[in-house]
Copies of this chain bind each other. A is one copy, B any other.
Amino acid sequence: MSQWPDTYYACIFTNQRSDSGEDLYPLLSEKMMELATSQPGFLGVESVRNDEGLGITVSYWRSREDITAWGQNAEHRVAMSLGREEFYEWFQLRIAEVSTTRSFNII
């Protein structure tokens, strides 16, 4: 966290997996995660999915423009299209400006 800017942007992606794409989804998901981390302005990502297929992925970015550019990435656009057609029953995508951070670590 020490090298992160004081303010930055969070992309909060809440989603429900459908029953489709059992084979393809993990591959594409991993590929998109790799691709995201190599984009300009990418700061970090946190992702959890439970056994019922409910998932929350929060990615962090240096600027609003970096998120827009990632949304326009050609491979990402194909993946997003498949997301709507195949992978998700529903999703919510929110973009938010982070201004306050508190951390705790037992160690």
List chain A positions with a Cβ less than 8 A from chain B.
1, 9-10, 12, 14, 18, 46-51, 54-56, 58, 83-84, 88-107
Contact = CB atoms under 8 A, between A and B. Distances in A.
A90 B83 CA distance: 32
A100 B94 CA distance: 6
A56 B50 contact: no
Contacts of A50: 48-50
Contact of A98 (B88, B89, B90, B96): B96
B93 A106 contact: no
A65 to B, nearest CB: 13
Contacts of A83: 104
Contacts of A56: 46-48, 56, 58
Given A10-B10, A51-B51, A58-B56, A101 B92 contact: yes
